[in-house]
Amino acid sequence: MANSKYEYVKAFERENYLLPETYIVIRVDGKGFHKFSKYYDFAKPNDLGALQVMNAAAMQIMHRYSDVLLAYGDSDEYSFLLRRSCELYERREMKLCTLFASLMSTYYMHFWNQRYPEKLIQLEMIPTFDARAVTYPNFRTVRDYFSWRQVDCHINNLYNTTFWNLVEKLGLTGQEAENKLMGTVSSDKNEILFKECGINYNNEPEIFRKGTIFVREIVNSKECNDDDEIKQLSARQKQRQEKMRKKAEIKEYHVDIINDDNWWESRSWLERS
């Protein structure tokens, strides 16, 4: 770009580069989805179609960027794990956050209109997402992060399932249901569902109770080098690894990642990526 007397304004720009050799998790979250779900008449407590739209958008992002190794989502949020040696946009935080937020918003609208041609997205109520990026120093912390998000999914879904069944099955008002659930723990909510609503919470679909996990399943895990080896790779070797990641199958899971050590151990290559 040609120099001009106005170019000095660039000096005011500041970039935040995320720490190198750390895992990056980018979490996108729906903005104002309470109003959005009401406007488009979501089923309560869970709308399977809307969740599948979220999943389709997240899957599209994983197909687009091979640096994304794993994604976990529930309700109106998704967390994307970028490999430790990721160099996407030179690890610039603002670039990554704006990229993932805009892609999620765009893909969500696309797949929504594809799934619901009878209620297309209207200008006065469009889906928008914000995003944040956090770096984690080791894979143990990464595991704990995704466990935290799944615990959050369980707590919120159990409450919402109980609340909406009290309203729709027992005819309580929203305030009455809220008062009834005030101070209750998980066992209390399970008992209310079972005894008063005839629902065994454990029989609810796993996608509601546990969320959705997408994993880029790299079969030849030996190709996933450790940090020291990655630093020594030539440009051609890096391209070959990127092609391998792009060709890898992306699989969908609904598992209890908190307690399932075997599931994580069978994907130990994630820790070396």
Question: Which segments are annotated as binding site?
Answer: 29-34, 75-76
Tokens 């709308």 found at: 47
Tokens 């946009």 found at: 89
Q: Which three-class secondary structure string do you get for 30-62? A: ECCHHHHHHHCCCCCCCCHHHHHHHHHHHHHHH
Alpha-carbon span 55 to 50, nearest angstrom: 9
* Residue set of the binding site for Mg(2+): 29-30, 76
**Cα–chain center distance at 107:** 14
Alpha-carbon span 165 to 167, nearest angstrom: 5
Q: In angstroms, how far is the first alpha carbon of the chain from the final one?
A: 37
Q: What is residue 167's DSSP assignment? A: H
Alpha-carbon span 155 to 185, nearest angstrom: 10
Reduced to 3 states, what is the DSSP secondary structure of residue 17? strand
Q: How many CB atoms lie within 10 A of CB 137?
A: 12
* Residue set of the binding site for GTP: 29-34, 75-76
